[in-house]
Amino acid sequence: MPETIQLDPSLRGAHLARTEIPVIDIAPLLANTAAKAGTVAAIGHACREIGFFYATGHGVPEALIAQVYAEAKRFFALPEAEKEKVAIEHSPCHRGWFRLGGENLDPAKQRHAGDLKEGYKIGRDLPPTHPRVLAGLPLHGPNQWPALPGWREVMQDYYDRLVTLGRKLLGAFALALGLAETYFEPWLGITMTTLGPLHYPPQTGRITEARLGAGAHTDYGCLTLLNQDASGGLQVQNRAGLWLNAPPIPGSFVVNIGDMMERWTNGAFQSNPHRVINISGRERYSLPFFFDPDFYAPVECLPTCLQPGEAPKYKPTTAGQHLLDKINESFVYHQERQEQA
């Protein structure tokens, strides 16, 4: 840690034992081999115990991942006036660039400033003539693309590959929950999937929970696939309330459960808090990908997740309404827009 940093003791993460956040080779799942059952069991165990695991053997080319990082860096290096042309405030469907502090994942602690990061939201690119766009369905519409040659093509290729990977993982979740592998398929026709490259400037001076790279939070949706660069900074809270450092492992994605999946499973799969503190002394970049189902997907207790005599912990909702509620909590501009609608 650079000498210019004074890290509050509450932000010092413990070095985890590898069993805390397991590393799971998901190649048998993708290839549908005899070892698939063991992979599913390992995924189910991780989702119940901590809600996080590292996925290796995922099949996404490392060369493509390197391209995505290069394109993300190219965009974030632009002058602010250029980034402003594709600012998220210009989008009717929550797409585009948000500035430093534009997202606040822990408003209870970060009362005077949002997260010390900027980012870009890339979703399912629906044309203005699509029936859902014409109907004004929230979170549906065209992406905003910066005027950088090749940028759109690289991001779209990566996005499409992670949609496919997310489908496979959701099938594994279904199996781990005692459901048919295809249980969620009816709600995966028009998924609300989002790629969100992030840039964290180095943080110096006294660092407290009043401002972090990403304040402590749980993810909004179904599942997240995160690729992180070599800078580190991700911390995950375990069941005992201990914050654990979750360092990058080359060739892996960090996979974690979101609030929507916890609702679906009545708390059986855990959506655990995590945060980012960039004390590397250099710029940090990461590539979170949020996999969420159709806007109209019912989010209510799954049939295998309710024990006899047990009541659901959460009220039924839909995937779309759940995400809108969560976005409003973290993006002030979106909350104001909803209030004015």
3-state helix, strand, coil in the chain (%, to 5): 30, 20, 50
Q: pTM for this one? A: 0.94
Question: What is the average pLDDT across 288-294?
Answer: 97
Question: What is the average pLDDT across 247-251?
Answer: 95
Distance of CA 67 to the CA centre of its chain: 20
- Which residues, at least 6 apart from 131, have a Cβ–Cβ distance to it below 8 Å? none
Band of the pLDDT at 326, cuts 50, 70, 90? Answer: confident
- Which residues, at least 6 apart from 326, have a Cβ–Cβ distance to it below 8 Å? 220, 221, 259
| Residue 103: closest CA among 81, 125, 84, 119 | 119
| 142-168 pLDDT tens trace | 999 999 999 999 999 999 999 999 999
Band of the pLDDT at 121, cuts 50, 70, 90? Answer: very high
Looking at the predicted structure, is the pLDDT value of residue 173 above 90?
Answer: yes
Looking at the predicted structure, is the pLDDT value of residue 340 above 60?
Answer: no
> Which H helix or E strand runs over 333?
helix 332-340
Looking at the predicted structure, is the pLDDT value of residue 112 above 90?
Answer: no
Looking at the predicted structure, is the pLDDT value of residue 334 above 70?
Answer: no
Domains defined for the chain, CATH in brackets: 5-340 (2.60.120.330)
Per-residue pLDDT at 240:
86
Per-residue pLDDT at 16:
64
Per-residue pLDDT at 307:
85
| 174-186 pLDDT tens trace | 999 999 999 999 9
Per-residue pLDDT at 337:
59
> Which H helix or E strand runs over 337?
helix 332-340
Distance in angstroms (rounded) separating the CA atoms of residues 177 and 47: 10
Band of the pLDDT at 333, cuts 50, 70, 90? Answer: low
Strands 274-276 and 198-200, by their bridges, are: unpaired
Q: Which residues pair with 23 in a beta bridge?
A: 54
Per-residue pLDDT at 13:
80
Instruction: Give me the helices (H) in 9-103, please.
Output: 27-31, 36-49, 62-76, 80-84
Per-residue pLDDT at 50:
94
